[in-house]
Amino acid sequence: METTSVNTPETDAMDAHCRRVGVLADEVMARLSWSDADRSLVRKAVAVHHNWLGLIDPRLRGGVLHDLILQEKPPTGLHASEDKLRGVLEALGSRVNSSPAAKRLARLLEVCCLFVERWESSPYEGVDFQRLIAEMKQLAGDGAFEPVYVELISRLPSVNKAQITAVCGNLLVMRPTAVNFLRLMATPDPSLDRLAELICQDQELRRDLLRIGNPSGLDYRIPVRMVLHALSAVGVEQACRLLLSNLLRPYFQFAEDRVLWKHSLQVANLASRMVEQIAENGERLTPPITPLMAYLGGLIHDIGRLALHHLPPEGARRYARLVSGGAERQFAEVLLCGFDHCVAGVEALRRWDPPELLVDAVAHHHDPENSPNPLPSVLYLAEHASASEEDIPSAARLHLAEERIKLPKARLEESWDRHLRILAG
Ligand SMILES: [Fe+2]
Ligand SMILES: [Fe+2]
Ligand SMILES: [Fe+2]
């Protein structure tokens, strides 16, 4: 009888764990110069290391079980490759009755599995790469692991903060007047006069505003009152959104940047709508967050990812390889840099010196529980609603973020559904 397999949250979580272990093991094996055959064997073992009987051909399963339980040869012979795979799986967590070759591969898999399991506890324990490595070295020193594998994992990061800073120095150059405009947009109550004054000072902002608010023509010596007129014709909120979007879009140049820009716009729209709904509910966030601040936060929340796209070719290629290997971006970034795109984003933002609240939002949009501000929670929920799958899903974090912004779940889901339909259409 034909059976269909249905994924459950548990099997999805296990598949994701196995993908992370596989990406990590691949990185280590590349540095060990292991043979293609050994690497392929480890990959197969990784794919099933927590439910490996599922791998074995059902016709052979009885024999394998018999072999494992009775420590005898199975009644029907396994193919040589299946025999080797079984050897590696049997050697997991076991120090006896395995060949040295199987143990060597199994020991690596064990180290990678534990590293990933500890990483997966990060929503609850706040572990970072350095702390994980220190723990693993301690365990290796106690004889639990091969020190050489732990040492290799500790040396995986090849990109440091100085390189991120250097990338951003070239990538994120912005006119001083435009930087001032950006900073003004990150304040809870920007003065209309100051806004008009800044737009008057910046030729490109002025041109963009007049293109939408004064389609009949423009005058480069335009006075403040005409800018005020254009702002009121478009609506201050809408005009500022368009100006912000026009200002930031050109930084997203590469093909993968344009995908990221689309995602950033989606998060910006979701986050600003969420803040509007909070106000409609009669709730107040402390410190206050305006829809415009949430919109700006959404546009720049992943600016660290943008910086990582623009690393020198070797780093950018490695980043793309880690992500295409199946690791979530945040995990791929930790293997690449020892830190994630939130940390890279803070480095990137130094170029523009925005208000601390915005820096904090970028820094904590994947761990909002560690911020005293509500904006990271808004961005975390918007990120989750956009299904960008950048980090390890955490029900605990979602729950905390929802509590923090005081928006009933039903309202959130209704808002997301509507926005996602609009954005998709
Ligand atoms: Fe595992
Ligand atoms: Fe994102
Ligand atoms: Fe992100």
- Judged by its nearest atom, the ligand closest to the C-alpha of residue 264 is 2
**Predicted confidence pLDDT, tens digits, the chain (425 residues):** 444 455 666 677 888 899 999 999 999 999 999 999 999 999 988 988 886 555 555 555 555 555 554 444 444 444 556 778 888 888 886 666 778 899 999 999 999 999 999 999 888 888 899 999 999 999 999 988 899 999 999 999 999 999 999 999 999 999 999 999 999 999 998 999 999 999 988 989 988 888 877 655 555 566 777 788 888 888 999 999 999 999 999 999 999 999 999 999 999 999 999 999 888 888 889 999 999 999 999 999 999 999 999 999 999 999 999 999 988 999 999 999 999 999 999 999 988 999 999 999 999 999 999 999 999 999 999 999 898 889 988 888 888 998 898 766 655 566 556 555 554 54
The Å distance, Cα 26 to ligand 1 centre, comes to: 14
Spacing, Cα 391 to ligand 3 middle (Å) = 8
Return the structure tokens found at 370. 């560690």
Quote the Cα angle for 267-272-277, to 5°.
Answer: 125
Q: DSSP for 48-102, please give it.
A: TTTSGGGTS-HHHHHHHHHHHHH-S--SSPPPHHHHHHHHHHHHTT--SS--HHH
pTM of the shown model:
0.86
Quote the Cα angle for 347-376-305, to 5°.
40
Identity at 30, one-letter amino acid code: A
CATH architecture of 171-424: Orthogonal Bundle (1.10)
Cα 350 to ligand 3 centroid, rounded to whole Å: 18
> Please, are residues 26 and 38 in contact by the beta-carbon 8 Å criterion?
no
**Alpha carbon of 383 to ligand 2 centroid (Å):** 5
> What are the boundaries of each domain within the chain?
9-154, 171-424
Q: Can you tell me the distance from the alpha carbon of 16 to that of 169, in angstroms, rounded to the nearest whole number?
A: 35
Measured in angstroms, how far is the CA atom of residue 267 from the centroid of ligand 2? 7
Q: Give the pair of three-digit tokens for residue 382.
A: 């918007």
212 and 242 Cβ atoms separated by less than 8 Å: yes
Ligand 1 centroid, distance to 15 Cα (angstroms): 10
